[in-house]
Amino acid sequence: NAGVTQTPKFRILKIGQSMTLQCAQDMNHNYMYWYRQDPGMGLKLIYYSVGAGITDKGEVPNGYNVSRSTTEDFPLRLELAAPSQTSVYFCASSYSRTDSYEQYFGPGTRLTVT
Amino acid sequence: DAKTTQPTSMDCAEGRAANLPCNHSTISGNEYVYWYRQIHSQGPQYIIHGLKNNETNEMASLIITEDRKSSTLILPHATLRDTAVYYCIVRPLNTGFQKLVFGTGTRLLVSP
């Protein structure tokens, strides 16, 4: 299994541009998550999904959109990029069982908005 | 979810035990203590979790006090590869959806 994969690894955007961060998992996990991590800080939840077609906001959703058309993929869309969105973005997934305890993270996408 | 408090940084000599404390004095009866770590520039990695009994796996041991208000993650023989930020997180296990609330964690530096 490849686990959780993210593309691209790095990206530089100009203010006002848009882009989509890709995330895919091959573990048949129902739950998927997007976090952002600013320098020296912990991760903050942006959006999450409990299954295909179902998404919900996390702690810091403003400026982002998500969709979940398949179990495997959970792209994060940035519209009108702003410098405040400069961050490292991590995608994660987990099982939906109530005894599930581990969240699996991807390698991250480092985004700079200038 | 209960709030956790961890020291900002700790040092450990290679081969020695690393003991990382976490305070979670407002923990509820149904909340578990989780530990994740984040090696530089990588995504966080699950280490261990527990409710009230001490737990051990191939990576670490978790000691939870009897009143459950604090815990200690123990890396028995720290190596240079254990240099990372360690996050203590408290959350209920009885929810499949895992909303992990990350603080700033403890930055552990293992030196030769």
d(CA A29, CA A100): 11
Integer angstrom CA distances of residue A29 from A10, A65, A68: 25, 21, 12
**Cβ-count burial A68-97 (b if 16+ within 10 Å, e if not):** beebbebbbebeebeeebbbbbbbbbbbee
Query: Long-range contacts of range B7-10, CB-CB < 8 Å, 24 or more positions apart?
Result: B7/B106, B8/B104, B8/B106, B8/B107, B9/B106, B9/B107, B9/B108, B9/B109, B10/B106, B10/B107, B10/B108, B10/B109
| DSSP SS3 for A112 | strand
User: What pLDDT is recorded for position A49?
Assistant: 94
Amino acid (one-letter) located at A86? T
* CA-based nearest distance B46→chain A, Å: 6
CB contact under 8 A, A40 and B45: no
**Closest chain B CA to residue A97:** B96
Integer angstrom CA distances of residue B93 from A4, A71, B17, B32, B58: 22, 23, 28, 6, 21
Nearest CB among B43, B104, B105 relative to A106 is that of B43
Residue B60 has pLDDT above 70, yes or no: yes
Cβ-Cβ contacts under 8 Å, A88 against chain B: 41
User: What pLDDT is recorded for position A40?
Assistant: 84
**pLDDT band per the 50, 70, 90 thresholds, residue A72:** very high
Specify whether the CB–CB gap between B35 and B49 falls below 8 A. yes
Residue B53 has pLDDT above 80, yes or no: yes
Across the A/B interface, how many CB contacts are shorter than 8 Å? 65
Q: Which of the 8 DSSP states describes residue A62?
A: T
* CA-based nearest distance A82→chain B, Å: 22
CB contact under 8 A, A107 and B43: yes
Q: Which of the 8 DSSP states describes residue A96?
A: -
Cβ-Cβ contacts under 8 Å, B32 against chain A: 101
Q: Which of the 8 DSSP states describes residue B5?
A: B
**pLDDT band per the 50, 70, 90 thresholds, residue B24:** very high
- For residue B71, which phi and psi values (nearest 5 degrees)? -150, 165
**pLDDT band per the 50, 70, 90 thresholds, residue A41:** confident
**pLDDT band per the 50, 70, 90 thresholds, residue A15:** very high
Strand-pair partners of A24 = A5, A73
* CA-based nearest distance A17→chain B, Å: 25
CB contact under 8 A, A108 and B43: yes
Q: Computed from CA positions of residues A9, A15, A17, A23, in that sequence, does the dihedral angle turn out positive or negative?
A: positive
Cβ-Cβ contacts under 8 Å, A33 against chain B: 98
* CA-based nearest distance B66→chain A, Å: 22
